Amino acid sequence: MAMTVRQWTTVLVGVVCGVMLTAGSVTGQTSAEEQLDLAEQAFERGDFQKTLELVEPLLGDADRQRASSRLKMLGLVRLGKTAEGIDAYEAFVKANGKNEGLLRELAVQSILPFRADMREQVRGAAYSALKEIPSGEVVPYFQDGFSDGSGMIRVLVAEGMGKFPKARQSEGFRGALKDQAGLVRVTVLKALGGMGDPAIIPLITPLLRDEQRVVQVAAAAALYRLGQEEHWQTVERATDAPEGYERGAALRMLGEIGDPKGLPLLAQGLRDKQPSIRAAAAASLGKLGSVDGAPFLITALNDPVPAVRSVAAVTLGKLRAEQAVSPLTRALQDRNMGVRAAAIAGLLQLSSPFSVVAGTVRELMGQQNPGLRSSVAKALG
195 belongs to a structural domain: no
70 belongs to a structural domain: yes
Range of the domain at 77: 5-107
Q: How many domains does the chain have?
A: 2
Q: Is the pLDDT of residue 17 over 60?
A: no
**C-alpha distances in angstroms, 285 versus 37, 222, 278, 305, 324?**
54, 18, 11, 18, 14
Percent with pLDDT over 90 in the chain? 66
172 vs 7, more confident: 172
The H or E element containing residue 66 is helix 65-78
At 324-380, the pLDDT tens digits run 999 999 999 999 999 999 999 999 999 999 999 999 999 999 988 888 888 898 888
pTM for this model (two decimals)? 0.79
CATH number at residue 350: 1.25.10.10
Q: Is the pLDDT of residue 100 over 50?
A: yes
**C-alpha distances in angstroms, 59 versus 68, 83, 93?**
6, 19, 14
Alpha-carbon radius of gyration of the chain? 25
Length of the chain counted residue by residue: 381
Contacts of 153 (CB under 8 A, 6+ apart): 120, 123, 124, 127, 145
Domain boundary among 65, 81, 107: 107
**C-alpha distances in angstroms, 159 versus 132, 163, 191, 208, 344?**
11, 7, 8, 21, 28
163 belongs to a structural domain: no
Helix, strand, coil % in the chain, rounded to nearest 5: 75, 0, 25
Q: Is the pLDDT of residue 274 over 70?
A: yes
Contacts of 159 (CB under 8 A, 6+ apart): 131, 187
- C-beta of residue 13 within 8 angstroms of C-beta of residue 32: no
- C-beta of residue 253 within 8 angstroms of C-beta of residue 262: no
In this prediction, residue 25 carries a pLDDT of 36
Domain boundary among 107, 123, 158: 107
Q: Please, what is the Cα angle at 129 between 380 and 160, to 5 degrees?
A: 110
92 belongs to a structural domain: yes
CATH number at residue 14: 1.25.40
320 belongs to a structural domain: yes
Q: Is the pLDDT of residue 242 over 90?
A: yes
183 vs 12, more confident: 183
Strands (E), the chain: none
Q: Is the pLDDT of residue 109 over 90?
A: no
Quote the CA–CA distance of 381 and 378 in Å, as a whole number: 5
